[in-house]
Structure 1
Amino acid sequence: MLQLTQFGPALAVAVAAVVWPVTTWRLVRGPRRRPSSPWPLLCMPFLIILLSAGPYALISGTPHATDPRTLHHSFLLVAVAQLVGACGEEIGWRCFLQPLLRTRFGPLPVSVAVGTVWGLWHVQVLGRSPAYAAGFLLATVAVSVVLGLALDGTGGMARLLLAGAFHALVNLGMLLFMDEETGRTAPMVLFGVASALVAAAWVRRRTAVTIPPTVEGDPGA
């Protein structure tokens, strides 16, 4: 359920806190702005899994749903473990590296960079087929874009819990409705494509919100 590698990013933050305590605390704490409604963000994992598992069931000819009661541990324990492990990663990715790079670059390129590092951190995936690894990297970059844009300007415990919850929900969805852990390429590629579609919609949504349309007579028209 939990892997020690999940806490590598948290360990890196702990080391940074010893070397640069003030800077690290400022980055992890983030701005004190109150976050907007979390529900649009927390609905995205369900959409990603739906867009992944649905086509995979059609392609393979069978649904790949797993009854939570058949897991080796209770589903509640698995869910809690997933959340803890996800937060162990997210304190490094979204709560430290993202705001660190954000001091120099915009939210979109920073999110792509963090997603790339996040994907390469899972070095064992690179030992799979090229298509499998590409699908996984596409997914980490796309999910990073969604989280980076959604949580930009949000700090502290809210940022950690929202990123961790999103991450855990995706993992739980993959556990229950996909079988990419077997090494099959199709589910991972579909997961990457589904994540990219959601990320593209999120980028478009952000652009529509932040850039008002020009009107007749506007000097910018």
Structure 2
Amino acid sequence: MTVSTDFSTKRPSIPALLAFLALTFLITWGVIGSYIFWPEEMTARFGEISGAHPFFFLATWAPAIAAFTVVLLYGGLSGLRGFLSRLFLWRCPASWWAFILIVIPLVFVAGSLIKGGPLLAPIPPEGVGAIISLMFMMLLLGPIEEFGWRGVAQPLLQRYMAPLWAGALIGAIWGLWHLPAFFLAGVVFAEWSFLPFFIGNITLAILVTPIFNATRGSLLLPMLFHWQLINPFWPDAQPWDTWLLVGVAAIIVWWKRDMVFSRDGAVTEVIPDEARP
């Protein structure tokens, strides 16, 4: 299969973007919606849904499944190999590594302290090993989404608009994509309020945007960023983590205003030049 020029170059590619979004929502909303509208039938047939249920993984992996499908459709196997090569892009200013590894944890710690909570999440009766196991399991959840959001959606949208607006739009879509989970018993979202979460999604998508562009389209750093957000070692800081991150985002947008308000230098390729057949 040959690479579609509309997909692999800087020309707009509306069909690819729409296909990605349609498949992403179809999988996730289809799986979660089935448990919302037919809970007894789905539970009897497939078991009660939870964060460890295979269907929960399927719903979470939908952006990645959609991304791989679209890349294969437009680029074939060679295009997919090129797409995955973005996992090995790691060079960027040290400040972004410090932001991910130090600032993000400090936001959770500060948010927890503001609400009178602990410095770190309480150790469960099973011991530290249980948290470490959960931490690595989290690698197979949220970070996998980045194959879609930053892998496909971000570069395609940046063909049309400045990175800030592309990030904000992805954040809004990302938030809406999660919406059915707030009506689903047995998962963590059922205990949260949607509005702060939605605002948080937009904020996080804006925050990761300059990191994405500074690394020339890396998938590795957005995945690490996402992993830090769900690291079980960090304490529950809601809703203060959201409001602190909004403040951090405002500082970074001002600091990197030349980067986020201009399309100059923005990554617009899903498949890197050197990886195309």
- If the length of structure 1 is used for normalisation, what is the TM-score? 0.73
- Residues 68, 176 of structure 1: 8 Å contact kept: no
Task: Choose from 221, 227, 234 the match for 1:162.
Answer: 221
Q: Does 1:145 align with 2:202?
A: no
Identity of aligned residues (%): 19
After TM superposition, the structure 1 stretch with the greater mean CA deviation from structure 2, 84-93 or 110-119, is 84-93
Task: Tell me the equivalent position of 1:109.
Answer: 165
CA distance 1:46–1:33, shift in 2 (3 Å): closer
Task: Choose from 143, 154, 159 the match for 1:87.
Answer: 143
Whichever residue aligns with residue 93 of structure 2, its letter is S
Q: Does 1:123 align with 2:208?
A: no
C-alpha deviation, 1:35, in angstroms:
2.4
Q: Does 1:207 align with 2:257?
A: yes
C-alpha deviation, 1:155, in angstroms:
4.2
C-alpha deviation, 1:102, in angstroms:
1.0
Task: Tell me the equivalent position of 1:35.
Answer: 92
Whichever residue aligns with residue 11 of structure 1, its letter is I
Whichever residue aligns with residue 235 of structure 2, its letter is F
Task: Tell me the equivalent position of 1:181.
Answer: none
C-alpha deviation, 1:188, in angstroms:
3.6
Whichever residue aligns with residue 35 of structure 1, its letter is C
- Residues 87, 161 of structure 1: 8 Å contact kept: no
CA distance 1:68–1:193, shift in 2 (3 Å): same
CA distance 1:44–1:144, shift in 2 (3 Å): farther
Which runs of no fewer than 5 residues in structure 2 stay unpaired?
1-50, 184-188, 262-277
C-alpha deviation, 1:172, in angstroms:
1.6
CA distance 1:24–1:134, shift in 2 (3 Å): farther
In the alignment of these two chains, the number of paired residues is 195
CA distance 1:109–1:14, shift in 2 (3 Å): same
Task: Choose from 115, 120, 123 the match for 1:68.
Answer: 123
- Residues 27, 100 of structure 1: 8 Å contact kept: no
- Residues 135, 191 of structure 1: 8 Å contact kept: no
CA distance 1:138–1:94, shift in 2 (3 Å): same
**Aligned-partner Cα distance in 2 for 1:208–1:98:** 18
C-alpha deviation, 1:124, in angstroms:
3.4
**Aligned-partner Cα distance in 1 for 2:85–2:152:** 9
C-alpha deviation, 1:28, in angstroms:
6.3
Q: Does 1:9 align with 2:63?
A: yes
Q: Deviations over 1:10-66 (max 9, x none)?
A: 001121023212696566656x79422222333232132133212222xxxx54853
**Aligned-partner Cα distance in 2 for 1:34–1:18:** 27
C-alpha deviation, 1:210, in angstroms:
8.8
Runs of 4+ in 1 over 6 A off after TM superposition: 208-211
Q: Does 1:19 align with 2:73?
A: yes
Q: Does 1:177 align with 2:235?
A: yes
CA distance 1:10–1:45, shift in 2 (3 Å): same
Task: Tell me the equivalent position of 1:54.
Answer: 113
Whichever residue aligns with residue 246 of structure 2, its letter is A
Task: Tell me the equivalent position of 2:245.
Answer: 195
- Residues 163, 260 of structure 2: 8 Å contact kept: no
Whichever residue aligns with residue 36 of structure 1, its letter is P
- Residues 111, 149 of structure 1: 8 Å contact kept: no
Whichever residue aligns with residue 65 of structure 2, its letter is L
Whichever residue aligns with residue 122 of structure 2, its letter is D
- Residues 109, 120 of structure 2: 8 Å contact kept: no
Q: Does 1:77 align with 2:128?
A: no
SS at match of 2:160: coil
- Residues 27, 99 of structure 1: 8 Å contact kept: no
